[in-house]
Amino acid sequence: MKKKLFAMALCLLMVVAMAVPAFAETFRATPPYFSASTYYYSVNSAKALNAYTEGTPVNGTNVTTYTSTGSITQEWIATQFPGEDRYSVRVGTSSSANPLVLCLGANGNCELRYTSNTTVENYKVKFIAEPNGVYGIALVNRPNWVALTESSVQTVGGHNVVWQPSSGLNNQLWRGVLVYD
């Protein structure tokens, strides 16, 4: 009797083990809506990633999270590096020839820089898929990966965005939403 129970339990365990991968959510390595205009919302506050400016973003423009306005300064486009699972993220207002990208600035601040005015180590990122369709965005060419983080620091333009060591907290998770024309 014990052998039959053991065999039945083993059989049931094997059925479950084989079925789980078939029903598990598949996580994408690519960013949401790759190469398309996307809004990124902080999971922590539901505020949009935002180039903080009254006009057109320029080299050194600060990045914040702010109430969604539908402005082009809240549109972002992830562009893949050829042959790599790595990306740059440019603001929707900039050209692809010399784009303004999310970049590591002074004291870990997140700002926009033209790719010609910085090194690739300061802006090459990897999207890290998490459950429920959210992503972490991390610099990959740094000794310690740092993640795009919605700061608790309130500024005139919303909450400041900084690069901080990965913590796994919601202020480092982002949800991408396609911009419709």
Residues of the domain holding 125: 27-178
Q: Is residue 1 part of a domain?
A: no
DSSP states of 58-95: -TT-BEEEE-----GGG-EEEEEPTTSS-EEEEETTS-
CATH (domain of 171): 2.80.10.50
Q: Tokens for 57?
A: 């973003």
Q: Is residue 2 part of a domain?
A: no
pLDDT digits (tens, 9 = 90+) for 52-105: 998 899 999 999 999 999 999 999 999 999 999 999 999 998 888 889 999 999
Q: Is residue 19 part of a domain?
A: no
Alpha carbon distance 25, 42 (integer Å): 22
Q: Is residue 4 part of a domain?
A: no
pLDDT digits (tens, 9 = 90+) for 118-174: 999 999 999 999 998 899 999 998 766 789 999 988 877 789 999 999 888 899 999
Q: Is residue 8 part of a domain?
A: no
Residue 16 pLDDT more than 50?
no
Q: Is residue 174 part of a domain?
A: yes
Alpha carbon distance 110, 104 (integer Å): 5
Alpha carbon distance 109, 19 (integer Å): 45
Alpha carbon distance 13, 160 (integer Å): 49
Do the Cβ atoms of 65 and 161 come closer than 8 Å?
A: yes
Confidence band for 111, pLDDT divided at 50, 70 and 90? very high
For the chain, how many structural domains are there in total?
1
pTM of the model: 0.79
